[in-house]
Structure 1
Amino acid sequence: MSIKKNRLSQNGIYGPLTQKTLRNLLKKELITNFGFENMHIIADILIDRFLKIISECSVEKERIKPYQTIVFAVDRNQRFGYGKTMSQTKLIPVTVNIITHQELEELASGKYLKDLRPKIVTRILKEAYAQGGVLSLNDVAIICGVPNTIIKKAMRDYYKQHPDEILPHIGTIFDCGATMTHKRIIIKLYLSGLLTKEISEKTNHHPFNVDSYISSFEQVRGLYEEGKGVQQIAFFTGFSQSLVKEYIQIIKELNQLQNNNKPNGLMSLTS
């Protein structure tokens, strides 16, 4: 058999197999069922994007280690908040450790899982954030296989030991939480003279929200020092009364702190 005939024979046998690809399957679907009969180039562009997304979200055996999992996190570089659904939000896959070897050793040495949980929750949040993603406390609850009430308790326990730290989760990074812990810390850093960029880096907080806290604080502080009450401040600023009360509470706490620790490097709250 000549080389040419052999090549044709081989192509006849194996050629069809080379067409059995995900790319061709997707292209056939777009052309047959979604009206792309005369838009093959656009179909190819879409398929390239689809395949890239699939690649980013696929679990590669060599990438995933024992006790690890892949979860979708909110991209920390975007703005996100109330009124924006998760389907409208940019998500990225991140790899987190359900438990580490060191934590397993601590359990083996006699520590209880409930005592390690604050450390585990904190680590999972930080692992995701280091990869550019932000998890919710509900995400962490699913990863750990416990109710979110247990995760919230673990967070409270952690903050008791680290009162000046802000953990990176959706409630703090995107200002979707009810707690004012991060507001207090950010305002305290602002009054100590740090710039927005420095505060953002120090608190794992989006610069936009840092500026928003500072602006809101200054509005409330100015009116409060003029002797305005909660209802008046809420009326003039457009803030809810509960938010005004939060900032007034922060002002009182920092005033007390300043009086107890002079000089503390804080700018006067009454200047």
Structure 2
Amino acid sequence: MTERKTESRERILSALAAYFKTRYRFSSVIARALAEDVLRLIWILSPDSLEEGQILRYVVKNTEPPGKLLRDCQFVLAKLTLHTSEDVEYRKCNGLKELKLRVIQRITQEAIAQGGSLSQEDIADLLFLDRRTVVDYIKELESRGVQIITRAKFPLLFNQTVDKTQMIKMFLEGLDEAEIASRTYLSENLVRRYVEEFLRTGLFYRRGITASAIATVTGIDLKLVEEYVELYNYLSSTQMASYIHKFFSFYEDPAFLKILKDKEQFSSF
């Protein structure tokens, strides 16, 4: 995120926090947390909004096995950051090759976080490189201890068991994605993806929308939606019920429900 965008985001956060503090007499800490949640919600409901240097690209869903013909695969629309203002200075200091390595790490993480995965061919196409060079660059990054997950490697990541219940519990209890990642030994981007998919599913499910409709609207795989719905119901029947209620009830405000309704686009159903 550029310095200008960071300053703009901070101004928005400060304005929202001041509003919540004045309007509802919340403490500064709670007001700030709610402001952060609002910006998170905006991102969740508007995942296709683009910043300078970003593109939208259809990539293979990360549930598709490697080797499957592309024409038979499902795709998701991913927002990828090919260029930021910081990249200019980074290239001046480190050279073009290091910049390419930086971008490879960034866009592969972004694709994973949005439910897709990039192939080596995708990376070559996006960065105007030949595939052999991409292979060499990935090997170099991995030799430095940087994990690069491409389409071929993604299924191997899920040979390990991912405890989504524990992950969501930790999030509802106030841990951020970085803390959850360190405790679960998963990547922060993967944790963020699960959290955001759970939130998107929960927001619609609380309105009585079916799992199949949620999958259609959000682009989340139906099996995952059903898993998130089951997780929501389970947590709602435990001592986590109060956490669930407190977290989601803020977004039951009519203004937020209008945003949800505008995003649903059920007219084609």
- TM-score normalised by structure 1 residue count: 0.40
Whose Rg is larger? 1
- TM-score normalised by structure 2 residue count: 0.40
Structure scoring higher RCO (CA < 8 A, sep ≥ 6) equals 2
Structure with a larger share of its residues in helix: 2
